[in-house]
Amino acid sequence: MTSAKLFFGSNIRFLRERKKLTQEDFAEQLGLTRVKLAAIEAGRTENPSAVDLIKFSDFFGLSIDNLFRIDLRGVGELPLRELEAGSQLYMKGTNLRVLAISTDKANKENVEYVPVKAKAGYRSGYANPEFIASLPKFSVPGLPQTGTFRMFPTTGDSMLPVPEGADVICRYVEDWTALKPGTLCIVILDGEQDFVFKKVTILPEGNRMLLESLNRAYEPYEISAGDVIEIWKFHSYFSKDVPERVSEVQHISQTMDTILKQLKEIQEKIDPRPDNAAA
């Protein structure tokens, strides 16, 4: 059987130079020695370690398979960007992410609850069936028959009018690219970062997400898709708090927004020309 031609070393050098990084700078960012990186790029390292492969894959946003099998030097910039944007490692949330579940005696999936004190453990045990089985479980009436659901607590006031301390029920998202812009989700972040409950939008470059709060006092911000472990789409929430009455300031602001919108519509009907049109 003819051995497959592999392009890992040449691809790493090409991608490094594409980002205008020297061997010294790139090796430092990945925690490698320059000598080791030079050997990899020159093809003198036939079997790079799994840890190093993951480092390269994470850094460039490309699957390990693509790094080995495709000669990226001949792909072209636009197809290369499409490869980066479509990398399963970052954007699909399927294949490379294993979801552990628990079931009841009738083999029906439970709705597990992830309390605040279990957040840190969840980040490391989300794919561990024993950990998931240890979480509190609920049977919630009215949920769709298909899909996997889980309940998460919210903290802070960034998602008002959803009350602080509410428990939100969400459906597991298998393919992140299917999310519509501004979809309410619980996002499970890697490392020491917290869970966040935000409006999620996949940005055009494909490997970043925009997170927005319902409370306009909080500024939106971007995250790398590589920092995301799981995404759960909002379904409903439970709260012991009665929603607060709209304040006078909020009422005035909402009224002014409505009036301005109506004035704009009236103006467009009277003079439909663009503002910069000649008189």
pLDDT score of 1 more than 80: no
Span 115-151, pLDDT tens digits: 988 888 888 777 788 888 899 998 888 889 888 999 9
pLDDT score of 4 more than 70: no
Sheet holding 149-153: strands in order across? 137-138, 111-113, 149-153, 167-172, 228-238, 183-189, 196-202, 208-212, 221-224
> Which ranges constitute the DSSP H helices of 126-246?
129-134
- What's the average model confidence in pLDDT over 83-111? 66
Tokens 């072209």, residue?
A: 76
pLDDT score of 250 more than 90: no
Which range, 79-88, 101-110, 127-136, 147-156, has the best average confidence (pLDDT)?
147-156
Query: Which pLDDT band holds residue 267 (cuts at 50, 70, 90)?
Result: confident
Tokens 């946003």, residue?
A: 61
Angle at 126 (CA atoms; ends 122, 132), nearest 5 degrees: 85
DSSP state of 197: E
Are 138 and 110 in contact, with CB atoms under 8 Å apart?
A: yes
DSSP state of 49: -
CA distance 66 to 12: 11
Q: What is the pLDDT of residue 139?
A: 82
- What's the average model confidence in pLDDT over 28-39? 94
132, amino acid identity? I
**Number of other CB atoms surrounding residue 67 within 10 Å:** 21
Q: What is the pLDDT of residue 113?
A: 94
Are 239 and 167 in contact, with CB atoms under 8 Å apart?
A: yes
Identify the weakest region by mean pLDDT among 144-153, 210-219, 249-258, 261-270: 249-258
Span 181-229, pLDDT tens digits: 999 999 998 877 788 999 999 887 667 899 999 998 899 999 888 788 8
pLDDT score of 276 more than 60: no
Helix, strand, coil % (nearest 5) of the chain? 40, 20, 45
